[in-house]
C-alpha cells in the first residue's frame, strides 16, 4: 500500500466529475487500499478518489470508533433520502483546519459495489450520512466550502493558497 498526495482546495482538479468504474479489478483494489491507508494516516473519516486526483467513482470511509470498520463504495448511488434535513459541522482533508456548518439529508440509503465488486446497500445516519453525502459531492467535483457564503469561501481560498505557498517555501 502507499500513501497518496491529497489535492488541496482550490486546486481546480477537485472540480473534475468522476466517471463510473468499469470493472472492479486489481487496479481498483490497489486504489482502494491506497486510499484507505491515506485516509487513516491523515486521520480522516472519508476520502473520495477525486481528492487523490483519480477521477473514478470510488469512496472510502470509516466513521466507526475505534476506527476499524472501513466502508468501500464503488459507483455509489443514493437510492433513498430522508426529507428531514440536518445541519452539522464538516471538515475535509482537502481543506485542512477549516470546519463549518452544512445542511444535508439526515439519512440516506446508498447502493454501491464493495471492494469485492459485489453490490450492497448502506443505510447511513448521523456522521456516516454526512460523510457519504460529502464524499459523493467530491465525485461530482463539489467541495463542501461551496455551500458556504462567497465571502467565507474567498477567505478560505486565500488561507489555503497562503498555506500552500508557505509549504512550498519550506516554512
Q: How many amino acids of this chain bind Ni ion (CB under 5 A)? A: 1
**CA 160, CA 164: separation in Å to the nearest integer?**
6
Mask for 73-92, x = binds Ni ion (CB under 5 A): -------------------x
Q: In the complex, what is the shortest distance from the CB of residue 51 to Ni ion, in angstroms, rounded to a whole number?
A: 6
Of the two residues 24 and 45, which places its CB atom closer to Ni ion in the complex?
45
Of the two residues 28 and 92, which places its CB atom closer to Ni ion in the complex?
92
Residues 108-147 within binding reach of Ni ion (CB under 5 A)? none
Q: In the complex, what is the shortest distance from the CB of residue 44 to Ni ion, in angstroms, rounded to a whole number?
A: 8
Q: Where are the beta strands (DSSP E) in the chain?
A: 46-48, 58-61, 71-81, 85-92, 95-105, 107-113, 119-125
Phi, psi angles (nearest 5°) of residue 51: -70, -20
**CA 12, CA 97: separation in Å to the nearest integer?**
20
Amino acid at each position: 500500500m502507499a500513501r497518496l498526495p491529497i489535492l488541496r482546495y482550490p486546486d481546480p482538479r477537485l472540480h473534475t466529475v468522476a466517471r463510473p468504474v468499469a470493472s472492479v479489478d486489481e487496479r481498483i483494489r490497489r486504489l482502494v487500499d491506497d486510499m484507505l491507508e491515506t485516509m487513516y494516516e491523515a486521520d480522516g473519516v472519508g476520502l473520495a478518489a477525486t481528492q487523490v486526483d483519480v477521477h473514478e467513482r470510488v469512496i472510502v470511509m470509516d466513521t466507526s470508533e475505534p476506527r476499524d470498520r472501513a466502508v468501500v463504495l464503488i459507483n455509489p448511488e443514493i437510492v433513498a433520502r430522508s426529507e428531514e434535513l440536518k445541519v452539522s459541522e464538516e471538515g475535509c482533508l482537502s481543506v485542512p483546519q477549516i470546519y463549518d456548518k452544512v445542511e444535508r439529508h439526515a439519512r440516506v440509503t446508498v447502493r454501491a459495489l464493495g471492494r469485492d465488486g459485489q453490490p450492497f446497500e448502506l443505510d447511513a445516519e448521523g456522521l456516516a450520512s454526512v460523510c457519504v453525502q460529502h464524499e459523493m459531492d467530491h465525485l461530482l467535483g463539489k467541495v463542501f466550502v461551496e455551500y458556504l457564503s462567497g465571502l467565507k469561501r474567498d477567505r478560505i481560498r486565500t488561507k489555503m493558497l497562503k498555506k500552500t505557498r508557505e509549504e512550498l517555501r519550506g516554512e
